[in-house]
Each structure stands twice: as C-alpha cells, then as structure tokens.
Chains A and B, each alone.
Chain A
Amino acid sequence: MFRDIDAVRTSLASQKYIANETIATTLFLANKLEKPILAEGPAGTGKTELAKACAGALGRELIRLQCYEGIDESRALYEWEYAKQLLYTQLLRERVGGMVSNATTLAAAADAIAQEENVFFSDRFLLARPLLRAITSPNPVVLLIDEIDRADAEFEAFLLEILSDFQVSIPELGTIKAIHKPIVILTSNDTRELSEALKRRCLFLYVGYPDAAAELAVVNLRVPGVPPKLAAQVVEMVQRLRQLDLRKTPSMSETIDWARALVELNVRHLDRTAIDSTLNVLLKYESDLQKARRLVAPSDASELGEVDPRARREKDRDRDRDRDRDRRR
C-alpha cells in the first residue's frame, strides 16, 4: 500500500513512470477509497503503462482483460470446462451406475445423482477468466480492464457488480467475494460515451499528451543512451507535429519508439536525412508524413528548427480559414 502521495510518485518513478500530481493523487485515493480508476485519453499516452507501473511498484501481479467488441462473461469471468466434465462423466460411469443400482424408482435414482451434483459444478471444472482470477487470487493484484470503450454497453453493465462490490455471482456456486480487493484500472480511448453508472463507480483520470518538459523527462528515462540534444530535438519535433492537423497525432509511446529507433541508428542529432528515414516510426499515414516533411526545412537546413516556408504558408492559410469561419459564426 502507498503511504502518501509522495510515496506513489516515488514508487512509480522507480518503475520508470513519471506521474504528475493528478495521477499520483488519483492513484493514492483509489488505493485508500478502494475504488477503480477510469483512465481516459488519447491512445498511447501511458494509461496501460500506469497499471503496469502500479503493479510493479506494489510488487503485485498484473491481471489484464483486453476488451473488444462482443466480449462476454465467458471470456471475462468464467466458463465451465465442458470437455473435462464430460471426460470425468465417462470415467466415472460405472461408479455412477453403482450409485443408482439400489434405487427402486426413477425419482430415487435422480435424487441419488442430485446429491453428487456439486462434484461436477465445483472449482475443479471452473475455468477462471481474468475477472474471477483477480477476485479469487490469494495475493492482492492489480486488475487492468483495457479499452473498455471497445466493449458493448451490456458488458459495461455486467462489470458494475464487480466494480462496486468486488464480488461476482455464479448461479451454480453462489456469490464469490474478493479475498483481497484488487486495484482496478480501466482505460478508455474515449471512442464512445461510457455509461453514467460506470463512471459513478470510478475515480476519473484524464491522461492527455504531456507537455514538452514532461515528455523530455520520459524520453530520457525510457530510452537509455539517448544523447541529450537528440532527446530535446525529438521532443520539440513531436510537440510541433501535434500542432498540425494530422490524421493520427503521434502519441507518447511513438515518441519513445522514435527516439529508440534513432539511438539504434546511432543518430547524434536530428537532421533532414534522419527524419526522412525514420519518420514512419512516428507517423502512420502517408498524408501525415507529407505534412511533417513539409514542416521541416529542406536539406540545406542541416538541423531541425527551421520551418519550410511552404509549411508556414499552409499553416497561415489554415489559420485564416479558421478565422473566417469564426467570423461567419
């Protein structure tokens, strides 16, 4: 358990996760109030990493449930292992036959079998999926429910019991309560509106793109051996790219990947050639790559920092268009 908010920040830093005041406070409160965290924000801003870092900091196992369209209880909670049940039935057939041999009526035979019913609906045949594993784990764990916005609204409703009471109901076994209440982190890329009921049960944490200083700190921490000048140039470039109207804005994780790629290629400082050969690590659409290339000065500008006049003109045009639109409104 975290002692105080500073302890949260220090522990996460030991896992190479730089947490700001909001993240540290929210995680501390989630721990104390025993409430899940709903971390929302664009993809690649470190929401999933937060759960991993939290598990690492507390020395707990991380149990992850990746959501997708159509996910249901049997994938998330539990499933009866039918094949195993069938195998046992076959192997125990003679024993079952012996049990009912003394029964004089059908009802008596059914009663005799019913008395042993619990054998076939017990933990032995229960296939625990991530949610049940998190609840029944003998040690405290961190449960990550990743990309909840991809799941259907019905699945969201199903999660409510677990998130508020940390218990699940299995018809054949009854209600199973958590041995240790897990720290639950739900992530959402905000592609659809989540239900009020789910939000009410969680503490809300918005994780947006970091500012330049925070991003530089993360790059220095996560990319060993990155030259300081290169790190600063990478961050400056990414921050400028985020100002453009791109189809996919580069995320924090892509900044790290880009810096790693540049380090692998022994690049000491960012120039036109380095950018041209590695920009596809950062940007994933051809139209975005073209916009980014226009942003950087032609090859005679050996270092980053000079803006291509064409890009500047385009930006000015965009700004004028926005202004005209505002005026029309």
Chain B
Amino acid sequence: MDERLVTFIRAMRGRDVRISLAESIDALRALEISGITDRTVVQAALRSTLVKDAGDVPVFDELFPQFFGVDEPPPMQQTGGGLPDDAAEQFQEMLQQLLDDLTELSEEDLQRLIEALMGQGMSRRELRDMLERNDAMPDMSQGMPLSWAMRMAMDGIGMPQANSLLQELLDKLRQMGVDPSQIKSVERDLRENRATIAQQLAEIMQAEQGAGRDDRERERDRDEFLDRPFDQFSFDDVPNFRREVAKLAARLRSQAALRMKRAQHGHPDIRRTVRANLRFQGIPMELRYRHRDLRPKITVICDVSGSMRAAAAFMLLLVYGLQDQIKRTRPFVYYRTIADVTRDFQELRPEAAIQVIPDRIQGGPYQTSLGSCLTTFLQEHSNTVDRNTTVIFMGDGDDHRGIPRVEDFQALRRRAHKVLWFNPEQPWRWHREDNYMHLIAPQCDGVHVVSNLRELSTAVDGLFR
C-alpha cells in the first residue's frame, strides 16, 4: 500500500499538484488511522491530506481510481458470438488448439493476450505486470510522446503476433466458407477489444508520465516559464499558471511590504502619543506617528486584441495577486471598444475573471482602436484617475483605425500621478505601420519592455519603489 501511495503522490506531483514531504507523511498517518478497508474513506482521507487547493481536486479524482480503483477488467466484447453454431464450434476448437500450442511454447503472455482479445479482459495491474515482464514499459521521464510509448508497449506485449495468429484463424474460417459478413463481425469485436486494451495501456502510460517527472525538472520548467515570451502562451492556458504567478506575486508582496513598513513613518500623532504614554504619566517615552498609506492606486488599461491577450491576462493576474499592497485597482480592457471590468474582478477569482473579459468588448482582427478608446476613457471614466493614481497601459501601441491623439495622453498625464506604458513587443518592432509608440512614448513617464513574466514582475515591482 505504501509503495502504491508513493507512486500515486509522484503522479500527482507530475500533474503539478504541490505535495510536500510533510503532507505525504500526513497521508500515511491518515491511512493508518482511517484504515484501508473502505475505498470512500481512503479517498476522503487522501484528498484532505494531499490536496490543498480546490483546483487540484479534479486531478486527484482522475488519478485516484487508477491507483486505488477496484481494478476489475473492463467489459469486453465476446468475440465470435455472432458466428453460426457449427462455425463457432470449429472456431473455438481452432482457438483452443492455438492456446495449447502457445502453452507448450511457454508463451503464456501471448496466450493471455489472445484470451483478452477474445473477451476475457485484463485488469490494469495484470497488464502492467505483463509490460514489466516483457521489459516493455517505456521510460516516460524522458518526455517520450504518448503515441510512441503506446506503440512500444503494444509491440512489447506481443500485440502484432496476437493479431496475426488470430487473423490466420479467421482466414481458415473464410476458407471453410463461412459468410464474410459474419467474419467481419468477429473482426469488429477484435478491433473493439484491442481499443479497450490500448485505452488501459494509455492510462498506465499517463500515470507513469506524471510519476516520471522529478523535482529538478519541474524547477527547470518554472524557470523556463518566467523567461518564455508572452506570445508563446495561449490565452486559454494562462489560468493554469496562476500558481506560478501567485508565487511571483508573493515574492513581490513581501518586498513591497518591507519597503512600505520602512517608509511609512509620517508626522508625529499627538493624540495616539498621549494615549500610549498614559502609563508613563504622560511623559512621551514612546512616540506614535501617523501612518502614511503608501500603497499605490492603479488604473490598468489593457489591450486584449489577439496578440496581446496573454500578456494582458498575466498583467491582471499579477496585479490582483498583489491586491493587499495596492490601495485601489481599476482594470479596463480595450480592443475596438473599451470596457470597465472592475465588477468581474470583484465577483470572480482573477483566473476566472480574465476568461470572461474578452466578452466585454467588441473587436476583431485589425480593429484595435487605441485612440478612440482613450478618448472614450477620458469622457466616461476619467473619475477613476486622480493625482495619486498611476495609469498603466499594457499594449503594443497599435491603432488600426486612426491615429491616437497626443492631447488625450497629455490630458491623462495632467490628471494622473504617473502614466506608464508596458509593451510586450521589442523596440525594433515599434515603428512598423499602424504602430504609434513613437507618439506615445514621449507622453509617458516611463515605458517598459515586458516581453515575459520576469520583465513584467520587475516593472510591477517598480510601482512600489
């Protein structure tokens, strides 16, 4: 049981569920206490000790039956059931002869595989043992694609031989004059049984794939993730990286909190000083200061056109990961139109909110309209910007429908504490057609190239300095 639990934990880790050593020990202790006779109890005990995030529950529920399932053979087609009685009898005799021959040749695994194809399914454990006996378990830790691994495994357990032996039997039936349509029904049953065995093998390989990834590999993945350009992320994948973004935000948060604690002393607070020093008979032994709230107010305006969507999503995830260090955040998204998405972020978790924001605006390919969106923003949402607000644009500076008005940027800059532009594209791409960074950049207090998460986190960290 212990060994199975360890493999299960490795498989969970392989699917990016964080399980520490302490949690593994808790799981073992929980099983000692709860017992292993009731599968539902085992499942509940392991879930409460190993899974610490509701988002990981589906992974747990998917993998648990593979390791702690009843492991009964799956239902299989009874091959040959559609043959007429006399043909079925002859087919059974030939099959029995074949199985006996294989026994004499000590080909027990091939014999068992043919039995499985004929309808006596194998449990996953039985199939796994067969793979190991035939040295056919592919090394999934080297990143072998599943299709290759499947082919290796099928060859290793002798599926091609089993197929050809059964095909010979069917040829004999054909020579005996059995109706070809009835033979086809036998072939269909065999095909379905083969697919069932392949499905079982795929499940074994997937579990092995997860278990094969070691910690160093995961660490490497995380580093690679920080330096991967935003344009290599698919927008739909962004929520899957929320844990990494949360970790990044936690690091930025502790740096920001420390800096603010040091810088937060303001003028002496007479009322609090007097009250604090009552115990010293009013002699001001301990001074109290007014705390200055140094947390920035941020208005984020993100371009969510196709190429910018992933970068905008990461930006919003990171900003919302730092919420306790920010006094107020107002997020806006634009494409052809602009929309205030504050409510989405108030009601949903950030990773869920970023999925719905593209529905809040209109736009299609080559319809980015930065200029008109900025004008609309100034007309309808300028109250979200005051002299303490830092306005951050996240976009490439493209406008396919006009030229952004410099006066609008100037008006925004006059209202705001700072206007910053985060651009995921490299400067050499800024001067192409329909790009107006050369107009925008001089109107901003700072322009940062943020092509990956590492650069983005450095730029966001700058907000707290």
Contacts and interface: CB of A to CB of B under 8 A. Distances in A.
Interface of A: 5, 21-22, 24-26, 28-29, 32-33, 35, 37-38, 40-41, 69, 82-83, 85-86, 89, 152-154, 190-193, 195-196, 199-200, 202-206, 247-248, 321, 325, 329
Interface residues of B, number: 36
B66 interface: no
Contacts of B44: 21-22, 24-26
A299 to B, nearest CB: 32
A71 B110 CA distance: 68
B45 A154 contact: no
B274 to A, nearest CB: 13
A199 B49 contact: no
A38 B49 contact: no
A200 B20 contact: yes
B70 interface: no
Closest 3 CB pairs of A and B: A25-B44, A199-B52, A26-B48
A200 B359 contact: no
Contacts of A22: 44, 47-48
Interface in B18-60: 18, 20, 22-23, 26, 29-30, 33-34, 40-41, 44-45, 47-49, 51-54, 57
A192 B323 contact: yes
Given A33-B29, A195-B250, A247 B347 contact: yes
- Give chain B's interface secondary structure class: helix
Contact of A190 (B52, B54, B324): B54
B49 A29 contact: yes
B52 A38 contact: yes
Contacts of A190: 54, 349
Contacts of B26: 33, 35, 203
A40 B41 contact: no
Contact of B48 (A82, A203, A247): A203
B71 interface: no
Q: Which of B34, B253, B257 has the most CB of A within 10 A?
A: B34
B41 A21 contact: yes
Nearest to A82: B279
A152 B256 CA distance: 14
B236 interface: yes
B404 interface: no
A156 to B, nearest CB: 11
A29 B34 contact: yes
A22 to B, nearest CB: 4
A193 B351 CA distance: 11
Given A153-B257, A204-B48, A205-B48, 8 more contacts: A21-B44, A24-B44, A29-B30, A153-B253, A154-B257, A191-B349, A193-B321, A199-B52
B263 interface: no
A283 to B, nearest CB: 14
A129 B30 CA distance: 32
Contact of B52 (A83, A154, A200): A200
B359 A5 contact: no
Interface in B277-320: 278-279
B48 A325 contact: no
B310 to A, nearest CB: 13
A25 B52 contact: no
A25 B45 contact: yes
B246 interface: yes
B244 to A, nearest CB: 12
B54 A206 contact: yes
Q: Which of A41, A83, A153, A321 has the most CB of B within 10 A?
A: A153
A23 to B, nearest CB: 8
21 contacts: A21-B44, A22-B48, A25-B44, A28-B34, A33-B26, A83-B278, A152-B324, A153-B254, A191-B349, A193-B242, A193-B246, A196-B18, A196-B52, A200-B20, A200-B22, A200-B52, A204-B49, A204-B51, A204-B53, A248-B347, A329-B236
